[in-house]
Amino acid sequence: MGAVDIAVPQAPLLSRTPMVALLGNPNCGKTALFNRLTGARQKVANYAGVTIERKEGSFSSPAGHGFRVLDLPGAYSLSAHTPDEAITRDVVAGLRAGEQSPDVVVCVVNATNLRLNLRLVLEIKRLGLPMILALNMVDVAKKRGIEIDADRLAQELGMPVVETVAVQAGGEKSLLRALDAMWPLHESAPQPLAAIDAVGVEETQREVRRILALVSSDARDTGNLTEKIDNVVLHPVLGPVILAVLMFLVFQAVFSWANVPMDMIKAGVDGVGTMVKGAMADGLLRSLLVEGILGGAGSVLVFLPQILILFFFILILEDCGYLPRAAFLLDRLMGGVGLSGRAFIPLLSSFACAIPGVMAARTIQNPRDRLVTIMIAPLMTCSARLPVYALIIAAFIPEREVYGFMSLQGLVLFVLYFAGIASAMAVAYVMKRTMGANSKQPLMLELPAYHWPHMQNLALGLWERCKIFLSRVGTIILTLMVLLWFLSSFPGAPEGATHPPIYYSLAGILGRGLEYVFAPIGFNWQICIALVPGLAAREVAVGALGTVYALSQSGEELAQSLTPIIAGSWTLPTALSLLAWYVFAPQCMSTLSVVRRETNSIRYPLMMAGYMFALAYTASFLTYRISLFLIGG
């Protein structure tokens, strides 16, 4: 650690728990450090703009002092250009209403890229808050032969400098010691932010060069491997081909790897169902357990392996550093519809769920670009659609190979994802046109060095996904299933009924009413029932179909899994029409409410719901009618 004498200010001692803010350029390891300090599990990935909100945690130092700590979005400078950078600026400069400015700023820098990172350090230093510089990623720097004289750097900057490795156990120790060395802390307030003019920038730049010349040796090897990989991956012809092949392989894997674990879960759920049926007398409670809970929530649970496989690939791509490259490759394509390559990462996040996608649009500088990106994010195929797609595909698309190596089911899934992307691009094009054209801005994105995915990140990421999925199944899906079971079971069938009791139930009446609206696109009343709870969350539709069909089965038939039932009772045009519906329909309340929050207006979520319903109905109508015409009912 580089020690320096810091003049102790004559301010009163701090009486509250001190707040430490982690600040630095994007992708320098702030969140990794935050997680290491606090034991939290915030998302860490190898591209700029992962963190988009302030996150708070706490820890105590070896000397027993308690600290609060803030993880902030990365920023290149304090003159914010994007909404996420603005959060960072406002927090450190004490501009947020009702929030104290931090008592200590830990400026995290990427030791392999001091030239870029030091600018921000100098800028923050002008705020005059107590500061520590954390030279992070020294492990990578050492491997590359970059040597930094930490003592000298501390002298030049007038602040303690510590070396950290945020991804290694114990890699935060030196920072903790430095914090203890600062104890006791005093009250401090930041200097007002001064607007920096061109002269200021020039001066800062000169200062950076001067310091660099004093403290760092030239690197022997500056990420040679990264360059070599990029020559292939960013190649104008090879690049896009590699991207397409990668995407394609992912969807193939989702189907071909998932079979065995899915069968196991299915067998487990069926086994429990048979057991309950055997152990209990026929009655309401048994029906609730078997048809409501196992038939409903159980049929969603089966899709866990597919979701995990999809995320396995997404997490690897995120962590190794490939994502910003893909953004570059697609920049031209996206430019064609008036979007910038910046929109790529928010849109890609939407494959997990539109909500983080909509929020990640904060990293987009141009307000119109940001709005268009938000509006099309829900057209990206979120993971909640996967169970719906997978169910219908498994029921209607035969499990065979095309050209000897592609699974037909995987291919159909790929087409569905592609349909989402293509329509998003078309919508973006139209919106850009109607909002008035504006000039396209060049894409400026930092390309991080590649590294192997950290197994721990990967495992944690998958575990988080697993938890999210299971808790959805256990909470919202389960609740809706019980509600739906209730609505589908009462009032019972009248005297001399010719249909199963559900036909006469409240849900049945609702479904039959909706059928008037949806019959033109091929939906029967059972599907119509499932669409309603499916509005809350898409996967619920699968569970709802599970419950509805379980209740539609007569007598003592053994609980059959959903796939063969729908294969037997729907026509292919109906199945295709439902797939088309799910590509477009805005079946997710939470997304709409996040859009409302992010755009600060009710207008945009309404517009979104409107255009998506219109698209969904039209697409399903065309799909249904055309396939009826071509293949018959």
Nearer to ligand GTP, 305 or 453 (CB): 453
How crowded is residue 234: how many other Cβ atoms within 10 Å of its Cβ? 16
Reading the block at residue 232, the tokens are 């292939």
* Residue 500 interacting partner from ligand GTP, Mg ion, none (CB closer than 5 to 8 Å by kind): none
H or E element at residue 66: strand 66-71
Residues facing 161 on adjacent strands = 2, 133
CB of 74 to ligand GTP, least distance (A): 3
Q: Which helix (H) or strand (E) holds 23?
A: strand 19-24
Alpha carbons 590 and 398: distance in angstroms, whole number: 34
Question: Considering only residues 2, 18, 57, 74, which one is a binding residue for ligand GTP as defined by CB under 6 A?
Answer: 74
Contact 573, 623 (CB under 8 A): yes
What letters, b where the CB count within 10 A reaches 16 and e where it falls short, cover 169-206? eebbebbbebbeebeebeebebeebeeeeeeeeeebee
CB of 36 to ligand GTP, least distance (A): 9
Instruction: Report the residue number, 44 or 545, with the smaller CB distance to Mg ion.
Output: 44
31 lies in the binding site for ligand GTP (CB under 6 A): yes
Q: What are phi and psi of 631, to 5 degrees?
A: -115, -10
The reply on whether position 623 binds ligand GTP by CB under 6 A is no
Measuring CA to CA, which residue among 295, 299, 276, 275 is closest to residue 286? 276
- The residue (of 224 and 438) whose beta carbon lies closer to ligand GTP is 224
Under rule CB under 6 A, residue 319 binds ligand GTP: yes
Segment holding 55, helix H or strand E? strand 55-60
> How many CB atoms are closer than 10 A to CB 278?
7
Residue 151 binding: pick among Mg ion, ligand GTP, none (C-beta 5-8 Å cut-off by kind): none
Stretch that binds ligand GTP, among 19-27, 55-63, 259-267, 376-384 (CB under 6 A): 19-27
Stretch that binds Mg ion, among 27-35, 318-326, 354-362, 513-521 (CB under 5 A): 27-35
Q: Classify residue 8 as left (phi > 0), alpha (psi -120 to 50) or beta.
A: beta
Least CB distance from residue 181 to ligand GTP, whole Å?
21
Do β-strands 401-402 and 406-407 pair in parallel, antiparallel, or remain unpaired?
antiparallel
Q: Is the peptide bond before 491 cis (omega within 30 degrees of 0)?
A: yes
Of ligand GTP, Mg ion, none, which one sits near residue 105, judging by CB under 5 to 8 A according to partner kind?
Answer: none
Tell me the window of 13-21, 161-169, 345-353, 603-611 that interacts with ligand GTP (CB under 6 A): 161-169
User: Could you say whether residue 32 binds ligand GTP (CB under 6 A)?
Assistant: yes
428 near Mg ion (CB under 5 A): no
- The answer to whether residue 112 forms part of the interface with ligand GTP (CB under 6 A) is no
Which of 18, 19, 21, 29 touches ligand GTP by CB under 6 A?
Answer: 29
Query: In the window 551-590, what residues touch ligand GTP (CB under 6 A)?
Result: none
133 φ/ψ angles, rounded to the nearest 5 degrees:
-100, 125
Task: Measure the CA–CA gap between 456 and 589, rounded to whole angstroms.
Answer: 33
Applying CB under 5 A, does 88 fall inside the site for Mg ion? Answer: no
Per CB under 6 A, the list member of 127, 165, 348, 360 interacting with ligand GTP is 165
The minimum distance between CB 245 and ligand GTP, in angstroms, equals 24
* Total number of residues that touch ligand GTP (CB under 6 A): 27
In the complex, the smallest distance separating the C-beta of residue 457 from ligand GTP, rounded to whole angstroms, is: 6
Closer of 140 and 211 to ligand GTP (Cβ): 140
Q: Report what 27 binds from Mg ion, ligand GTP, none; CB cut-off 5-8 Å by kind.
A: ligand GTP
DSSP track, 308-367: HHHHHHHHHHHHHT-HHHHHHHHHHHHHHTT--GGGHHHHHHTTT-HHHHHHHGGG-SSH
Examine residue 552 and tell whether it contacts Mg ion (CB under 5 A). no
Alpha helices in 50-197 (DSSP H): 83-92, 114-125, 138-143, 150-157, 173-182
Residue 5 near residue 182 (C-beta atoms within 8 A): no
Q: Which of residues 34-73 bind Mg ion (CB under 5 A)?
A: 50-51
Interface residue with ligand GTP among 134, 137, 565, 572 (CB under 6 A) is 137
Quick note: the x/- pattern for ligand GTP over 40-59, rule CB under 6 A, is ----xxx-xxxx--------
Distances (CA, A) of 453 to 313, 326, 456: 11, 17, 9
Asked if 140 interacts with ligand GTP (CB under 6 A), we say yes
Q: 450-470 as b/e, with b when 16 or more CB fall inside 10 Å? A: beebbeebbebbbeebeeebe
Among 96, 454, 472, 625, binds ligand GTP (CB under 6 A): 454
Q: At what angle do helices 408-434 and 238-256 cross, to 10 degrees?
A: 130
Residues that bind ligand GTP (CB under 6 A): 24, 26-32, 44-46, 48-51, 73-74, 136-137, 139-140, 165-167, 319, 454, 457
Residues that bind Mg ion (CB under 5 A): 31, 50-51
